[in-house]
């Protein structure tokens, strides 16, 4: 890991290590005390980077190490860089993979000299934010019809392992690049290196890597690095929004790991734990990250965030604080995945604040309500069907079950990013086509067609071809 060495002119601002407790280092400076967030370097080759988090007194600071501190001892000289942690920005970062220091980790040719920006930026002021609520179209039927995402908003993706989170994220990147000429930014917080490796190769095979920037703070890295990787990724995303006036799709996996890294840092810094062992500053830390994701008059950063819920308890402080920032929640269901209904979204558990008549229009709103009602009634009838069979239902209930089952299959969709192993050509479906399809299914136009004709298709007209 290469860390930029401090300049010789800065050697005057030297200090000495007075205490090391894991990743927390206390440093004493005789002359000039570094400001909060300043980066300090120490170790034999200045390979250990420390970020100042608090000033203990007139001559001492306490910081968190962003690199391992093995071999660091009391009395070691510390150099004040006089700067905050920075990352490179510019069009050359497209298609590359970075660590928290802005170093490339994809073993490709080195980057040219680029502008460096601090990872600690303020959220855009209210005067620059867009007051219009716009819909962010993904080309995925189930999301666009029932869980419309907000352009410049934040959507939470709740789901366990193996239910299709990564495939869904990769497909959104593919569709974003395809019709918005937008930029995608993937930020892995506390990711396993295996997951990062797989994602990199999946994106390469799907042909979306050239318009994507990836940044990882891996699970084996110190908590300081995992805690700052989200801020570093946002600085890169803000460049594309504010300087190049482009829309950015920011994918974060996993927000819980960011909160967890903050909890570790807080504990190491000696702060008193709050409710259920979380840091007392949980709300502030999450807000500092989330409030930078915004829709301005020049462009928008739309974020989709994977969120792990500890013990499936939605009252856990980490989930409660995350929920308050989200404009949409997409819940993935293992049951749907086991039935082969991909994307495996639980349509009744998921919801969006955008689904109001004033934003999506009367027709879309009424249709979405009708679909939810049909699916909810079908859910209630499932127990009766399991015990007594479909034949025991009244004619109207049988018709409702047929409509619901056709809707469920219509909401399945072949993805471009899975073409190479499913052999089914990917489809991107416009909102208009998706709404027309749902409307015609609810009107019983296709009641004579078999359910299988609705499975893994794009627009509704494909039913007649396969039926």
Distance CA 344, CA 332 (A): 5
The pair of structure tokens assigned to 118 is: 């601090």
Active site residues: 165, 191-192
Specify the DSSP element, H or E, that contains 39.
Answer: strand 38-42
Specify the DSSP element, H or E, that contains 285.
Answer: helix 282-290
Closest-CA residue to 177 (of 205, 211, 144, 148): 211
CB 394 within 8 A of CB 425: no
Q: Is 435 helix (H, G, I), strand (E, B) or coil?
A: helix
CB 203 within 8 A of CB 209: yes
CB 213 within 8 A of CB 248: no
The pair of structure tokens assigned to 260 is: 């967890």
3-state DSSP of 45-77: CCCEEEEEEEECCCCEEEEEECCCCCCCCCCCE
DSSP letters, 188-253, are EEEE-HHHHHHHHHHHHHHT-GGGEEEEEEETTS-HHHHHHHHHHHHHHHHHHHHTS---EEEEEE
* Four-CA torsion 103, 22, 276, 123, nearest 10 degrees: -30
Distance CA 87, CA 76 (A): 27
CB 196 within 8 A of CB 232: no
**Length reported for the chain:** 467
Those residues with Cβ within 8 angstroms of residue 56's Cβ, 6 or more apart along the chain or in another chain = 26, 62
Specify whether the backbone of 361 is left (phi greater than 0), alpha (psi in -120 to 50) or beta.
left
């Amino acid at each position: 890991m290469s860390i930029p060495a401090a300049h010789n002119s800065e050697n005057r601002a030297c200090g000495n290590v007075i205490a090391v407790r894991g990743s927390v280092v206390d440093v004493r400076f005789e002359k000039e005390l570094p400001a909060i967030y300043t980066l300090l370097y120490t170790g034999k080759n200045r390979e250990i980077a420390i970020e100042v988090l608090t000033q203990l007194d007139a001559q001492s600071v306490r910081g968190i190490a962003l690199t391992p501190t093995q071999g660091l001892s009391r009395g070691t000289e510390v150099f004040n860089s006089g700067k905050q942690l920075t990352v490179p920005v510019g069009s050359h970062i497209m298609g590359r993979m970075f660590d928290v220091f802005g170093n490339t980790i994809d073993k490709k040719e080195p980057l040219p000299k680029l502008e460096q920006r601090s990872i600690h930026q303020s959220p855009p002021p209210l005067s620059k934010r867009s007051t219009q609520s716009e819909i962010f179209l993904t080309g995925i039927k189930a999301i666009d019809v029932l869980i419309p995402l907000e352009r410049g908003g934040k959507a939470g993706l709740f789901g366990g392992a193996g239910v299709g989170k990564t495939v869904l994220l990769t497909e959104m990147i593919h569709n974003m690049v395809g019709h918005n000429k937008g930029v995608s930014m993937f930020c892995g917080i506390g990711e396993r290196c295996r997951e990062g490796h797989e994602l990199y190769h999946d994106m390469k095979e799907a042909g979306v890597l050239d318009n994507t920037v990836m940044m990882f703070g891996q699970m084996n890295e110190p908590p300081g690095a995992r805690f700052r990787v989200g801020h570093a990724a946002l600085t890169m995303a803000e460049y594309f929004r504010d300087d190049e006036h482009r829309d950015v799709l920011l994918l974060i996996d996993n927000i819980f790991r960011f909160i967890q890294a903050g909890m570790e840092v807080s504990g190491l810094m000696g702060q008193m734990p709050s409710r259920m062992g979380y840091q007392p500053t949980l709300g502030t830390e999450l807000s500092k990250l989330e409030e930078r994701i915004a829709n301005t008059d020049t462009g928008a950063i739309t974020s989709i965030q994977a969120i792990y819920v500890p013990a499936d308890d939605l009252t856990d402080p980490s989930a409660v604080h995350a929920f308050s920032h989200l404009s949409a929640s997409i819940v993935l269901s293992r049951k749907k995945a086991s039935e082969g209904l991909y994307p495996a979204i639980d349509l009744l558990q998921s919801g969006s604040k955008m689904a109001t008549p004033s934003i999506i229009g009367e027709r879309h709103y009424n249709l979405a309500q009708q679909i939810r009602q049909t699916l909810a009634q079908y859910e209630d009838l499932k127990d009766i069907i399991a015990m007594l069979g479909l034949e025991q239902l009244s004619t109207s209930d049988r018709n409702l079950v047929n409509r619901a089952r056709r809707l469920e299959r219509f909401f399945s969709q072949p993805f471009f990013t899975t073409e190479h192993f499913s052999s089914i050509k990917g489809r991107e479906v416009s909102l208009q086509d998706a709404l027309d399809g749902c409307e015609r299914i609810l009107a019983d136009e296709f009641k004579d067609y078999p359910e299988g004709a609705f499975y893994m298709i794009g627009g509704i007209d494909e039913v007649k071809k396969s039926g």
